[in-house]
Amino acid sequence: MVSSRTSWGSLRPLGLAVAILLAAVTAWGQTEWTKNKGNPVDWDFTGQAAEKGNEEAFVWDLVRDVGTSSNQISFNQGANGVWFFMQSTTLAQEESSYSLLTGYTTPCAEFGVEGLLCWYPQLPYTYESGFPWIGFNTTADFPPSLPWPARTLAMHPAPDKLAIVGWSSPVNDKIDIEGSFIDFDLGCGNGVAWFINRGNRTLDSGVLLPGPDTFHLSKVRISSGEVLYFIVDPLDNDYVCDWTGLNLTIRHHHGD
Ligand SMILES: [Ca+2]
Ligand SMILES: [Ca+2]
């Protein structure tokens, strides 16, 4: 297990390396952006993303990006060189202890339903080592007997480890962050706590009660390569029924 982990401290340069790699595969990137957006976009990964007439190029939508970019799954990241699916070593929110969920399977190993994508701490999958996990339901419905709505991203912590979505900033500027954490598995368990951290500093947090918990942070100043972490904590080491949805959109803030 230990051998499969890499400290996130060493992965921050890796994130940049991946970004540079993505810049290198310009043909793919422009094809993809052309297809999705109508206009190719030049990315300058030194930190100033150069826009060519397309505001949407500065919107990172987690569900949209993960749902439309399966060709980047081999990078163990969602899409666009910014999303990372991660775990912690303990429940402490210490950036240097975070590592990627490197065990990707589809269908999800424990569910066996076509169209479900899952990222686990390691492979081969075992139930004991299978938490935390993060997954995406690409199908148009709930899978049989699972609390997982169509076209949504689900996070599930371990009793002693956080489930974490990371966003590595490609821009040096202000951003707006909005979305919601959602309790997908109602009527059981003690709930979860959620956090939005920039590095090790908490920007927002809450305890998830039934129903969605929305967040909206405006004009957050961020540097290129700095990472935002969207964290689900099991709350008092109880991970029963902790399926948690995450909707998340990050926008480059224009204006003052
Ligand atoms: Ca729950
Ligand atoms: Ca819980």
**Phi and psi dihedrals of 96, rounded to 5?**
-70, -15
pLDDT of residue 56: 64
How would DSSP label each residue in 3-19?
A: GG---HHHHHHHHHHHH
Over residues 234-249, the pLDDT tens digits come to 999 999 999 999 999 9
Spacing, Cα 99 to ligand 1 middle (Å):
25
Distance CA(112)–CA(106), nearest Å, equals 8
Q: Taking Cα atoms as reference points, which of 211, 95, 105, 256 lies closest to residue 162?
A: 95
Given a cut of 70, whether residue 180 has pLDDT beyond it is yes
Distances (CA, A) of 201 to 47, 122, 212: 22, 28, 23
At residue 43 the predicted structure's pLDDT band, cuts being 50, 70 and 90, is very low
Spacing, Cα 189 to ligand 2 middle (Å):
6
Any idea what DSSP says for residue 150? T
Over residues 121-154, the pLDDT tens digits come to 999 999 999 999 999 999 999 999 999 999 999 9
Ligand nearest to the CA of 209: 1
Given a cut of 80, whether residue 52 has pLDDT beyond it is no
Spacing, Cα 117 to ligand 1 middle (Å):
20
pLDDT of residue 6: 38
Distance CA(86)–CA(121), nearest Å, equals 8
Contact 10, 32 (CB under 8 A): no
Distance CA(38)–CA(97), nearest Å, equals 40
Whole-prediction pTM value?
Answer: 0.79
User: For the chain, what are the domain ranges?
Assistant: 1-256
CA atoms within 13 A on the CB side of 236: 5
Spacing, Cα 152 to ligand 1 middle (Å):
16
Distance CA(55)–CA(44), nearest Å, equals 16
